[in-house]
Amino acid sequence: LSDKIERMIKSVRQKWVPEFQLQYSTDIPWTPHQKNINESKVSLISTAGVYVKGETPFTDHYGLGDPSYREIPLDTPPSQLDHFHEHYDHTNAYKDINCIFPIERLKELVDQKFIGSLTQYHYSFMGYIPIPHPLINRTTPNLVKKLLMQGTDIAILVPT
């Protein structure tokens, strides 16, 4: 592992989770893309902690993280979106939500016929999850089922 990753592991252990273990795998899930992009249905998945105002925000749990996700209906006005995540600078996201959750740009790509369509729901995690087991065993399999039910062809992950 690189020195940078070793320093990150040490920092998480010192500041937040003493028993933190880095999850590392060389496995690459691979499905060749068969459809044309302009005929494909797209779902957006962000790790920026985006949620609809009035719904339960993410919480840091005093450094233990949050493995849950939020559903964001496609027709949610951008002014109704908020974001909670203690581990990145929100300055640009407050100016323009598309910096972290580019849903308006994806709608424009549908208008341009660059992509086929968008699913009815899009998703956000808060990308600070130092205890990953609930994410791996519960929330991610649950989200995958929702994507399959909506007929998602392409999931675009925007990490923050």
Interface with another protein by CB under 8 A: which residues? 25-33, 37, 88-93, 95-96, 98-100, 102, 105-106, 108-109, 114-115, 154, 156-160
Residue 119 near residue 42 (C-beta atoms within 8 A): yes
Whole-number Å distance between alpha carbons of 11 and 14: 5
| Total count of residues recorded for the chain | 160
Q: For residues 14 and 92, which CB has a smaller minimum distance to another protein in the complex?
A: 92
Cβ at position 118, least distance to another protein in Å: 12
Cβ at position 101, least distance to another protein in Å: 8
Q: For residues 54 and 100, which CB has a smaller minimum distance to another protein in the complex?
A: 100
Whole-number Å distance between alpha carbons of 38 and 150: 17
Cβ at position 73, least distance to another protein in Å: 20
Whole-number Å distance between alpha carbons of 157 and 114: 18
Q: For residues 105 and 133, which CB has a smaller minimum distance to another protein in the complex?
A: 105
Residue 115 near residue 134 (C-beta atoms within 8 A): no
Cβ at position 30, least distance to another protein in Å: 4
